[in-house]
């Protein structure tokens, strides 16, 4: 225990209290994997134990964990991190005040904003819960696809989050957004522009699938067709280029206008 305490204190010391313009502090692990900046005040406890607990306040806190590929922006943060060699990894985090949780991997950036957020590990997965006037923005710089959605709260599960760090691909994820949900999806490709909008009681988003549940209304326009749909449930599937490739609605009504020269079937 004494050796563990000395090693942990050494890690904390190496983690550094770096003054920025003599107004804010940074909490950084020795490996440079965890970097929390913009702290006006902060505290670390349970130095001889595992996990290490910390809390801090500031006007523009930015907390980054390279291992998990997660960045949190907020005004108040506290939680627990686990020492692994020279780095700290997330066990659980609570962030409050103008929160934004950002995941960027390869060509895809996912951002979820709200007033409060929690991040915790569940086995190999990371679970991100955001509450109070939640906004989701997803951008794929390769396909040009942009998703914007609003709701009351959401929960995201990122599968095998640490193993995904060594991959150039975005890890599989599922985001469940509670409503009322309003969304838009825009994409500009070689075939032209796609714009789809709609609302529902609930939505489930994956990398290439948008599922809407309860009192669904969808309108829009794409190079191949103009979909208008109403029903209890609907699923929009996207192809590898980010363009709509399938629309499932049921039970409900779909009015679809094919475009001249489109890929009709």
CB 219 within 8 A of CB 197: yes
**Which of 93, 115, 148 is where one domain is finished?**
93
3-state secondary structure of 98: strand
What total of structural domains would you count in the chain?
A: 2
State which residues form the domain around 53. 1-93
CB 225 within 8 A of CB 214: no
Q: Which residue in the block uniquely carries the two structure tokens 């225990």?
A: 1
At residue 94, does pLDDT exceed 70? yes
Which pLDDT band holds residue 167 (cuts at 50, 70, 90)? Answer: low
Task: Say if residue 63 is in the same domain as residue 5.
Answer: yes
- Looking at residue 138, its pLDDT comes to 96
Identify the CA nearest to 247 among candidates 259, 263, 235, 231.
235
- Looking at residue 107, its pLDDT comes to 84
- Looking at residue 106, its pLDDT comes to 77
Task: Say if residue 8 is in the same domain as residue 119.
Answer: no
Task: Say if residue 261 is in the same domain as residue 191.
Answer: yes
- Any domain includes 99: no
Task: Say if residue 239 is in the same domain as residue 263.
Answer: yes
Distance between CA atoms of residues 199 and 215, nearest Å: 8
At residue 265, does pLDDT exceed 90? no
Task: Say if residue 60 is in the same domain as residue 123.
Answer: no
**Which of 43, 71, 93 is where one domain is finished?**
93
Distance between CA atoms of residues 205 and 198, nearest Å: 14
Give the mean model confidence (pLDDT) for residues 46-74. Answer: 92
Distance between CA atoms of residues 111 and 128, nearest Å: 11
Task: Say if residue 63 is in the same domain as residue 168.
Answer: no
- Looking at residue 263, its pLDDT comes to 47
Task: Say if residue 22 is in the same domain as residue 145.
Answer: no
> pTM for the full model?
0.86
CB 101 within 8 A of CB 74: no
Task: Say if residue 252 is in the same domain as residue 158.
Answer: yes
Give the mean model confidence (pLDDT) for residues 192-215. Answer: 95
Task: Say if residue 141 is in the same domain as residue 253.
Answer: yes
């Amino acid at each position: 225990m004494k050796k563990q305490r000395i090693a942990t204190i050494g890690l904390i010391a190496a983690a550094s209290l770096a003054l920025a313009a003599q107004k804010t502090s940074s909490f950084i692990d020795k490996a440079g994997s965890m970097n929390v900046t913009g702290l006006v005040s902060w505290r670390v406890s349970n130095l001889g134990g595992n996990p290490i607990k910390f809390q801090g306040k500031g006007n523009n806190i930015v907390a980054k964990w390279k291992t998990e590929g997660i960045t949190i922006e907020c005004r108040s943060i506290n939680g627990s991190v686990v020492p692994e060699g020279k780095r700290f990894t997330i066990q659980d985090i609570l962030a409050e005040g103008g929160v934004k949780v950002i995941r960027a991997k390869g060509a895809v950036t996912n951002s979820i904003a709200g007033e409060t957020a929690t991040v915790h590990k569940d086995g190999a997965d990371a679970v991100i819960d955001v509450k109070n006037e939640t906004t989701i923005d997803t951008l794929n710089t390769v396909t040009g696809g942009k998703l914007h959605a609003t709701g009351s709260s959401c929960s995201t599960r990122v599968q095998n989050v640490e193993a995904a760090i060594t991959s150039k691909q975005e890890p599989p994820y599922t985001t469940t957004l509670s409503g009322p949900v309003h969304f838009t999806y825009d994409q500009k490709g070689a075939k032209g522009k796609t714009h789809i909008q709609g609302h529902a009681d609930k939505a489930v988003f994956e990398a290439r699938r948008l599922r809407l549940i309860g009192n669904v209304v969808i309108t829009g326009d794409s190079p191949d067709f103009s979909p208008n749909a109403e029903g209890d449930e609907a699923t929009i599937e996207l192809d590898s280029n980010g363009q709509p490739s399938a629309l499932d609605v049921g039970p409900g009504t779909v009015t679809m206008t094919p475009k001249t020269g489109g890929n009709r079937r």
